[in-house]
Amino acid sequence: MNAAERFCKAYHQRWLASGETDGAHWMKQLRDDAFASFTAQGLPGSREENWKYTRLNKIEKPEYGFWGQSGFSGQLTTPLSAIQPGGRTLLSGVNRLVFVNGKYQHALSEWGPLPEGLILCRLSEAMNTYPDVLRPHLGNIADSSAHPFAALNTMFMDDGIFLKVPQNSRMSAPIYCLFITVGTERPMISFPRLLVVLEQQSEVSLIEHYLNVESLANTQNQNHSHDFINAVTEIELGPGSRLQHYTLQTAATGESHVHGLHVNQQRASQFCSHHVTLGGALTRNDIQIRLTDEQAECCLNGAYCSDGVQHVDYHTRIDHLAPNCRSQELYKGVVQGKSRAVFHGDIVVHRDAQQSDAQLVNKNLLLSQEAEVDTKPELQIYADDVKCSHGAAVGQLDPMALFYLRSRGIPPEQAKTLLVTAFIDEIQQTIATTAAQQLFRPWMQAKLNALMGSS
């Protein structure tokens, strides 16, 4: 029995054989449709163009345990104050929703005042309380027929986060969504699902943080089991709405992490993504943006730092479907050891999307002879009045810059760390929210220090 067949069998055991339902016919239909899509597609293989550099062996081999099957008690023994590098407390004073191995933890979460009309709750609660609000969006932004891991997530999702921001509403403090994986004797699998809906002229900041508590040891091969996180985030931006979205992945070195970010943007909406990958044995990030009406703008910024035998794969696609839209992409990678990074950025300017403005840049820094980067920026332009550009670069540290720093009395490893930090700092500078800066910077600097072998 291969991995896809095992997932299908687990689906029957979870929802069909057990007789469990959530009381909503449309939700059952959504899962069944996703099951049909996954059955038709299976897990992607190397013969598929978008997966030819990424092997799924690490995901296919384990026999995963679901919640309640692994013996995990649901108690997190590591205090939250010990999770952030340097013992810093994790963003107190914000609305913080914490999930451990896919299940919501009320005792670890923190709630503050919310604007009138704003809905922020667990997805399982929203399925029963706000089905009419959920139904037009859930599963309709992420295309399960084109993304097998989106289908797999939809098959098994039973909890996550639902956020709906009403018209003309604004939140100054970000919403912090923390997904913690705790290793067990049996490999664990979880399916975080987020649905975010912003109505006209609303504004909010959202932070997603994925981590394994065993990654706190900052050493190789600490995980006793190969856990798998399959996350999907769906976002609908109404006219004139604005979303600052942050994703930080600090998984353990023995964990696989697949994340799909799917966004629909309406007229004059603004979406800015800051996506940072630091951990995980195998990481795949699919980012899909649709600019469906005029004057929509999106900005994608990302950084990935890998060492050992880590594999990081970013696939982005921006569809310009309407005139006068603008998109910018900047991704930077630092690759060390025998690790491998893959970047495929695709911008499609459709026939009616005249006067589109799109720029895509991917830059990579190789720190070892055995590290590898495969980068492919791509433009598909079907309109004739556009302003588009793309570029990619892969290189090593500048020896002249190193010589300059050495001549000023800076030790070799410290000089290298300074240059690498300066290279990646362009991404850190794009982080506009103060709370996000406080969260991201310690993790990113700790990873860079580890890559350079400095303290």
Average pLDDT over residues 186-205: 95
Mean pLDDT of 335-354: 97
Average pLDDT, stretch 360-371? 97
Judge whether residue 6 has pLDDT over 50. Answer: yes
* Alpha-carbon span 326 to 46, nearest angstrom: 33
Residue 165 CA to residue 159 CA, distance in Å, equals: 20
Q: Spell out the residues 6+ positions from residue 420 whose beta carbon is closer than 8 angstroms to its own.
A: 334, 365, 367, 397, 448, 451, 452
The 8-class DSSP code of residue 15 comes to I
pLDDT digits (tens, 9 = 90+) for 124-177: 999 999 999 999 999 999 999 999 999 999 999 988 999 999 999 999 899 999
Q: Residue 223: what pLDDT?
A: 44
Over range 350-362, report the average pLDDT: 98
For the chain, what are the domain ranges? 3-293, 400-455
Q: Which amino acid type is present at position 153?
A: N
| Average confidence (pLDDT) over 100-116 | 91
Return the beta strands (E) in 280-371 as ranges.
282-291, 297-306, 311-320, 326-335, 340-349, 356-366
Percent of the chain with pLDDT over 70: 90
DSSP type of residue 170: B
Cα–chain center distance at 321: 24
To which H or E segment does residue 7 belong?
helix 3-11
pTM: 0.94
